[in-house]
Chains A and B, each alone.
Chain A
Amino acid sequence: MESTDRRNMRTQFQALFDTLRDPQSNSYLLELFASMIVSPELQEEWLNGGDSNKVKGCSQEFIDSLPRVPRSEIPLKESCPICYEKFGDDEYPLVAELPHCHHYFDVQCISLWLSKHATCPLCRDVVNQKTFDNIDLSKAELEEDWGMYS
């Protein structure tokens, strides 16, 4: 009897926890409350569940489109920061360059990481955020103006 009540309470509380959980807010009170009625293992599961929602990998298309470093420009004496193998130790090195920060990694290593995350392992730069730096906005406005006044 008592265990059923407890289970109900736990279920209700988890629903509350999921509703109130806001990554921006200080969840101290919520966690304090949780610690009073929920086992540490379950708390960790909930917390990790919340975290895993935040972590989003890059699309396979994005990963496949990463620029490959031309063979002649690969720093053969440097190592991949993920597997620690020298780029030059591979007879046919495949090295990818991340778009904003220009860090180099083995294609295989960085593909695996980016399938689950969207940050550069070295500088935490978000790699797949679209930047519009290359689009000529002045031209776009010009065209709109033409539309208005023509």
Chain B
Amino acid sequence: MASLPKRIIKETERLVSDPVPGITATPHEDNLRYFQVTIEGPAGSPYENGIFDLELYLPDEYPMEAPKVRFLTKIYHPNIDRLGRICLDILKTNWSPALQIRTVLLSIQALLASPNPNDPLANDVAEDWIKNEQGAKNKAREWTELYAHKKN
């Protein structure tokens, strides 16, 4: 494996020494560009009390290119599709090398707190969200119970 840029080492150190509340990111011991991530569902959202598993990968071009992130836990959300892919501008066109793993994960946490059905990735979910917001939120809550239950 090519040597790890200092930036990635610094980011990893800070993620461990000064973690973001409600978020964990642990590098894989065999591949320091691959992180296992957990995000707690934000309080007051349908994802509250859920712990969501994600994977994050830093491509060779990072930080010139955005990290690749996807949900591993099933989630009912208009901007996350059934493959766990996330529709978030900073992961695509609005990426900037001044962003970092920490800010990306914070943005994903914010996306859980405020879904955006007008810029959907999962079209069926988005339609449901627009037509019947309360019903959609109930379903999101059910899925959180079913798939993202806190492990004791």
- CB-contact partner of B7 in A48, A84, A116, under 8 A: A84
- CB-contact partner of A81 in B11, B81, B97, B123, under 8 A: B97
Q: How far is the CA of A55 from the CA of B81 in the complex (A)?
A: 25
Interface digits, B1-20 against A, CB 8 Å rule (1 contact, 0 not)?
A: 00001110011000000000
- CB-contact partner of B5 in A51, A83, A116, A121, under 8 A: A83
Q: How far is the CA of A84 from the CA of B92 in the complex (A)?
A: 22
Residues of A within 8 A of B6 (CB): 83-85
Is A109 touching B93 in the complex (CB atoms < 8 A)? no
Query: Which residues of B94-138 have CB atoms within 8 Å of chain A's CB atoms?
Result: 94, 96-98, 120, 123
Interface digits, A111-134 against B, CB 8 Å rule (1 contact, 0 not)?
A: 011001001011010000000000
Which residues of B are at the interface with A, using a C-beta cutoff of 8 A? Answer: 5-7, 10-11, 63-64, 81, 83, 85, 92-94, 96-98, 120, 123
Given contacts A85-B7, A121-B97, A124-B94, 20 further A-B contacts (CB under 8 A): A28-B120, A32-B123, A40-B81, A40-B83, A44-B85, A48-B92, A51-B93, A54-B93, A81-B98, A82-B98, A83-B7, A84-B6, A84-B7, A84-B10, A84-B11, A121-B96, A121-B98, A122-B96, A122-B98, A124-B96
